A and B are shown apart, each in its own frame.
Chain A
Amino acid sequence: MIRLSRMGPPRLTFSASPLPSSSPSSSHFNPRLGCLTLQRDDATKSTIKIATPGLLTTASRGFIPHLSRDHVNSTAAIRWVNIPFETFLERVPPVPTTLKDSLHPLHDFFKYDTSKHIVCLQARDPIDSRDMPSNGRDHLSVRCIRGVRKLRISDWNFYASSTYPDVVVALSDIPFTPPPHSQKRINKSLERSTQWLLDSLSPVPPNPEDRPNLLVHLVGGINPSARQAFSQALTETLFGAEAHRVKPLKNLDDAITGYTFDLVPLRKALKWDTAADNTLVHLIQTSLESLPFGKPRIVNSVRGPQDILRLISATGVDLFDSQWAVELATFGVALDFTFPVPSSPTGPPLTRIRDNGKTDIGHNLYDGKYATDFNRLSTLFLDGQSKSSTPTPTSVTATKQRWCPCAACSPVSPLIQLKHSQTDEHVPDPSIPLEYRPAYTRAYIHHLLHTHEMSAHALLTMHNLSVVDHFFADILDTLERDGVDKFVQEVRKFRDWYDDDVVGDDTEDLGEAGEVEVAGGILGREAKSDWVSVDKARGKGRLAREKEKTGTAVLEEAEVV
């Protein structure tokens, strides 16, 4: 079983209001507005709210990639953090399970803020698409730095209970063996997933408030009837021994807080599937059809804004992971797009328009043309200095002109400066209000990327997360103000405007090696290839090699010597 936390778990509630539309499809899958609220009953009594549709972030070995703690804390977009647990199986006992005296072991160990961050524990990294050995009756195959490990179901239940996560994802038997998967394998997946869920629930605390906040993968692979069967099993009234094990629950769904989907295994399997009508949207709808409306729907490993808009429109998903935007930051892309599409943009040059007539969702800052571009990262978002004089750097305010609160566009003079001796004179005067510093320029980030300076990725990660956060705020705003029909029109316009074709066809988004393809369409692929070549260019003679590629532009710079 997953034991209750020593304080009782924080209360996670969700409210979703269906939005009417003129479309004949069921309102069960319409876009919806909601709010996830987490309330802590501890001394802090803190409440965290996430308006939905919204974003979540996924940690790598516990860290949001590229971000130090102060950057995590100053990035308002980070509210929900998925923590994949598998890498901690490298050491026994897994170290996050050893914080015996802590009320919030995961927050304390990873240094997330209990008043700002909802921490969700899951076994595996949802972006890892690599083939794995098959799972067993009593174990899940997981991956550590030294190879594959078997995670026993009983061990997982112990880890999940001893770390007191805010939210925990139940273990499910999702095959990562190479597709296609036989009917028999899919049946087994359903049986095991249900069995493991029962194991994790039993015995059920009598008081509903003592039960953990539990997310469940809706499994069944790409087989619609299997998906249907799994969902139905969740809401079916339990009998006999099973009913006895999870007394007083009437059915499994009563213990479930929300539903989750990892797109990676689905896409991997869809690649092998020839049935043309078998799409992600269809599979997700099939799973949700028989399940109650009022529980949050969470999707991991989406591949960009088009993917997100499509799933909001057609399946009413509430929370999306943002790994794609962090990955683009790794590849040197500064996001610069809005929803709805920009009408009459002014300011620094817009993103590039491709031969297919579509516009990039950001800037590949590896590109030589940014070497002398002293503009802020995004044309469509003001920087702090140009926005105003009174900073509120932690929130995206609903001003008419969008602005980006990230530490790259709106850096602020530090609140605290350490003093190292009595003589130090640089301690800031607290009576002086926060002051915005000039935004970091594209030229600077371009320089950092070409010189392998990691600061580039930190700045871009914060920027991209902030742009994605604004994207969700705009989606919410459009839905609220203009309703579903107008929203759907804007989604269509967005699809025609922006080049983000990676998800244009459900069967094309996995690369040759089975790797998940980068988001951002042509832009993302170009940036990734530039990233790879700059990375390879390290070492002696590297500048000469680069000169061959870029020609005279670099020569001019060198002549100054």
Chain B
Amino acid sequence: MQFEVLATCHTTRARVSRMKLAHGVTLLPTFMPVATQAAIKGLTAQQMESLGVTLILNNTYHLNLRPGIKILNEIGGAHKFQGWNRNLLTDSGGFQLVSLNKFTTITEEGALFQDPFTGEPTMLTPEESMSIQHAIGGDIVMQLDDVVPSLTTGPRVGEAMQRSVRWLDRCIEFHQKSGRDESQNLFAIVQGGLDPELRKQCLEQMVQRKDRIAGFAIGGLSGGEAKDIFWRTIKQCTEGLPADRPRYAMGVGFAEDLLVCVALGIDMADCVFPTRTARFGVALTFNGPLNLKLKKHSHDLKPIEEGCPCPTCSSGTSRALLHHTITIETAAAHTVTMHNLVFQARLMGGARDAILAGTFPEYLRKFFEDYYGDSGYPQWCCDALKSVGVDLLEGLEKPKVVQGDGARWEYAVDQ
């Protein structure tokens, strides 16, 4: 990997970097769409490429079950299997072991889980995870970590963090011995739950191993924790991570979360949100999400968002047509999915341009005004951005601020 920071924001911790991997260049900060089963829902690899996406994510756990390593090895990896010739990141499979399997037990050796096919106890070790990810062939591979649900408290959190560090060593060892470390780049995952002390210890230990690690991810968040704790944890981690390595916030996908993370120094993020929400009829815009199922869109001949370059908006596909078809025709889901992915890409692309131009604070203010001006600024966003020198409310008369998560939804209330 070649990683180069091109510019940093004069006020916040945001930065623009150029990351060159085996399948091309990806500019950071970026959002990574999730192709869980080796396909972005409903789209082809060529369509994804035409949207200007250069880095997607595959899930190791799922690809290991199907098509399985034997098939991936035969065809020569997941890139060839899905016809994708840009960059690819694979997770370690650890998260799904915990989220999808009730009976997973973690031992020092690895994660012991019930094989979903046979029901037999099976072990996923750090070495095994690496080996599977080598077969998949992602340009970025993730260490196996000991994942605990975000809201877990007590000694288990510390134990999981320490084990994640030990597993990282085993992953590094196996990865370097395999000789795959030339083309595939291993990322560590900082754990430690919501406890600043544990995060601090984890950061220290992992950063010590920096020379053998291509980048760092922040795990254990986006699991229902309070937003106030979320941003503080992100901030603590980005401050503790080295500047010459990319930083990846796992499972982050809401527009406001992404921009806050970028301002705190995050370079990469992934989430199923934009693609999943598209299938449920929600289109993302800079004025907030639109629920296309609402009757108020039934005769609206405007596109989802004027000026959006996505194939859906640039062809003039109307909200009315999408209202008529969404959740009924698969093609409507594809149409909104393309728009939502372009929205995410524009959001991050806009951030890159603003950071380069030295106008990122203005970009943040403009985004939040358009997105939340009517419904109220989330308190946590104001706090998070203030901590890096941007006051969203500056100069506003009687700004409306709301507590809580502040996710802005066009609720499914029909007029």
Residues of A within 8 A of B (CB): 60-71, 87-88, 90-91, 93, 95, 98-99, 108-111, 145, 371-372, 374, 407, 411-426, 437-438, 440-441, 443-444, 446-448, 450-451, 453-455, 457-459, 543-544, 546-547, 554-558, 560-561
Is the Cβ of A558 less than 8 Å from the Cβ of B65? yes
B331 vs chain A, min Cβ distance (A) = 4
Flag whether B74 is at the interface (Cβ < 8 A): yes
Assuming the contacts A61-B329, A63-B332, A419-B52, asked whether A69 and B348 have C-beta atoms less than 8 A apart, the reply is no
Is the Cβ of A68 less than 8 Å from the Cβ of B311? yes
Q: B330 touching A418 by the CB < 8 A rule?
A: no
Question: How far, in angstroms, from A93 to B27 measured CA to CA in the complex?
Answer: 47
B42 & A418 in contact (Cβ 8 Å cutoff): no
With A547-B118, A554-B117 already in contact, the answer to whether A560 and B69 are too (CB < 8 A) is yes
Contacting residues, chain B, for A558 (C-beta < 8 A): 65, 68, 115-118, 122
**B331-A95 in contact (CB<8A):** no
Interface string of B104-116 (1 = CB under 8 A from A): 0000000000011
Q: Which of B44, B67, B334 has the most CB of A within 10 A?
A: B44
What residues of chain A lie closer than 8 Å to B43, measured between beta carbons? 68, 455, 458
CB distance from B107 to the nearest CB of A (A): 15
**Binary CB contact string for chain B from 51 to 83 against chain A (1 if under 8 A, 0 otherwise):** 110100000001011111111001100001111
A-B contact pairs, 18 of them (CB 8 A): A95-B298, A109-B320, A413-B46, A414-B50, A415-B50, A418-B51, A421-B353, A422-B356, A426-B86, A443-B75, A444-B82, A451-B37, A453-B41, A455-B40, A457-B330, A458-B331, A561-B65, A561-B122
Which chain A positions have C-beta within 8 A of B250? none
Q: Is the interface of A mostly helix, strand, loop or mixed?
A: loop
Closest-CB distance, B314 to chain A (whole angstroms): 9
Q: Return chain B residues, CB-CB under 8 Å to A416.
A: 50
When the two chains form the complex, which single residue of B54, B71, B119, B342 contacts A372, counting CB atoms closer than 8 Å? B71
Least CB separation from B16: chain A residue: A423
When C-beta atoms are compared, the residue in chain A nearest to B338 turns out to be A68
Closest residue of chain B to A548 (Cβ to Cβ) is: B117
B66 touches A454 (CB 8 A): no
Specify which of A88, A411, A558 lies most central, judged by the most chain B CB atoms within 10 Å of its CB. Answer: A558
Q: In the assembled complex, which residues on chain B have CB atoms less than 8 Å from the CB atom of A90? A: 324
Say which residue of A65, A411, A415, A424 sits within 8 Å of B329 (CB atoms): A65
Judge whether B318 and A109 touch: CB under 8 Å. yes
Determine the distance from Cα of A502 to Cα of B298 in the docked complex, in whole angstroms: 40
Given A109-B321, A453-B39, A454-B41: A68 touches B299 (CB 8 Å cut-off): no
Cα distance A407–B83 when bound, in Å? 12
Write the nearest CB–CB distance from A110 to chain B, whole angstroms: 7
Asked if B49 and A413 make an inter-chain contact with CB atoms under 8 angstroms apart, the answer reads yes
5 tightest CB-CB pairs across the interface, nearest first? A420-B349, A557-B68, A414-B50, A418-B52, A421-B349
**Among the listed A98, A108, A547, A560, which residue makes an inter-chain contact with B316, where contact means beta carbons less than 8 Å apart?**
A108
CB of B49 within 8 A of CB of A414, answer: yes
Inter-subunit contact A61/B44 (CB<8 Å): no
B348 surroundings in chain A (CB, below 8 A)? 420-421
Q: Report how far A420 CA is from B154 CA in the complex, Å.
A: 44
Verify B83–A444 contact, CB threshold 8 A: yes
State whether B25 touches A69 (Cβ < 8 A): no
Given contacts A420-B350, A440-B44, A448-B39, 6 further A-B contacts (CB under 8 A): A91-B324, A413-B46, A454-B334, A458-B334, A556-B70, A560-B68
> Once bound together, how far apart are the Cα atoms of A450 and B317, in whole Å?
31
A295 to chain B: closest CB distance in Å?
33
Number of interface residues of B (CB under 8 A): 81
Contact pick for A110, options B39, B311, B321, B356, CB 8 Å = B321
Q: Is the CB of B128 within 8 A of A561?
A: yes
Residues of chain A contacted by B64 (CB below 8 angstroms): 560-561
Q: A64-B331, A417-B49, A421-B349 are in contact. Are A437 and B83 (CB under 8 A)?
A: yes
Q: What 0/1 pattern do residues 360 to 371 of B give for CB contact below 8 A with A?
A: 000000000000
Contact at B49–A371, with CB atoms within 8 Å? no
Residues of chain B at the chain A interface (Cβ within 8 Å):
6, 16, 18, 24-25, 27, 37-47, 49-52, 54, 62, 64-71, 74-75, 80-83, 85-86, 115-119, 122, 124, 128, 132, 298-299, 301, 309-312, 315-318, 320-321, 324-325, 328-335, 338, 342, 345-346, 348-350, 352-353, 356
Asked if A543 contacts B24 (CB within 8 A), the reply is: no
Please name all residues of chain A whose beta carbon is closer than 8 Å to the beta carbon of B41 when the two chains form the complex. 453-455
Give the residue of B124, B331, B345, B353 whose beta carbon is less than 8 angstroms from that of A561. B124
Q: How far is the CB of B18 from chain A (nearest CB, A)?
A: 7
B residues in contact with A446, CB < 8 Å: 67
Query: CA A356 – CA B44 in complex, angstroms?
Result: 38
Given contacts A543-B117, A554-B117, contact A372 B74 (CB under 8 A): yes
**Beta-carbon contact of B70 and A557 below 8 Å:** yes
- Are A544 and B119 interface neighbours, CB within 8 A? yes
User: Which of B80, B124, B328, B334 is packed against the most chain A CB atoms within 10 Å?
Assistant: B334
Tell me the bound Cα distance from A455 to B6 in angstroms: 37
In angstroms, Cα B115 to Cα A418, docked, is 42
In the complex, chain B residues whose CB is within 8 Å of the CB of A64: 331
Closest to A91 in B: B298
Q: Could you tell me if A66 and B331 are in contact, using CB atoms closer than 8 angstroms?
A: yes
Chain B residues whose C-beta falls within 8 Å of the C-beta of A554 in the assembled complex: 117
Q: B299 touching A91 by the CB < 8 A rule?
A: yes
A contact residues around B301 at 8 Å (CB): 95, 98-99, 109
Closest to B331 in A: A63
Residues of A within 8 Å of B331, CB to CB, are 63-68, 458
CA distance A558 to B114 in the complex (A): 11
Taking a contact as CB atoms closer than 8 A, the residue among A407, A421, A447 that contacts B350 in the complex is A421
Considering the complex, give the chain A residue whose CB is closest to the CB of B20: A425
- Is the Cβ of B49 less than 8 Å from the Cβ of A70? no
The reply to whether B117 and A411 contact each other, CB–CB distance below 8 Å, is no
Question: B330 near A411 (CB under 8 angstroms)?
Answer: no
Q: A417-B49, A418-B50 are in contact. Are A447 and B44 (CB under 8 A)?
A: no
- What is the chain B residue whose CB lies nearest that of A424? B27
Q: Is the CB of A450 within 8 A of B82?
A: no
Contact B310 A422 (CB under 8 A): no
Question: Is A66 a contact partner of B70 (Cβ separation < 8 A)?
Answer: no
Known: A66-B331, A95-B320. A447 touches B83 (CB 8 A): no
Closest-by-CB residue of B relative to A72 is B331
Report chain B residues within 8 Å CB of A69.
311-312, 315, 317, 335
Once A63-B325, A413-B49, A426-B52 are accepted as A-B contacts, the answer to whether A440 and B83 lie under 8 Å apart by CB is yes
Q: How far is the CB of B94 from chain A (nearest CB, A)?
A: 13
A560 to B133, CA, bound (A): 12
Contacts of B316 in A (CB 8 A): 108, 111
How many Å lie between the Cα of A87 and that of B301 in the bound state? 18
Are A421 and B37 touching (Cβ within 8 A)? no
A455→B39 contact, CB < 8 A: yes
Is A65's CB under 8 angstroms from B330's CB?
Answer: yes
Smallest CB separation, A330 vs chain B (Å): 9
In the assembled complex, the Cα of A480 lies from the Cα of B406 at a distance in Å of 68
Q: For the complex, what is the distance from the CA of A423 to the CA of B54, rounded to whole Å?
A: 13
CA–CA, A338 and B346, complex, Å: 46
- Which residues of A have CB within 8 Å of B335? 68-69
Q: Kindly state the separation between the CA atoms of A374 and B27 in the bound complex, as whole angstroms.
A: 33
Q: In whole angstroms, how far apart are the Cα atoms of A169 and B415 in the complex?
A: 36
The distance in angstroms between the C-alpha atoms of A508 and B70, with both chains bound, is 44
Give the distance in Å from the alpha carbon of A453 to the alpha carbon of B45 in the complex: 13
**How far, in whole Å, are A453 and B81 apart by their CA atoms in the complex?**
14
Inter-chain CA distance A546–B348, complex, in Å, is 41
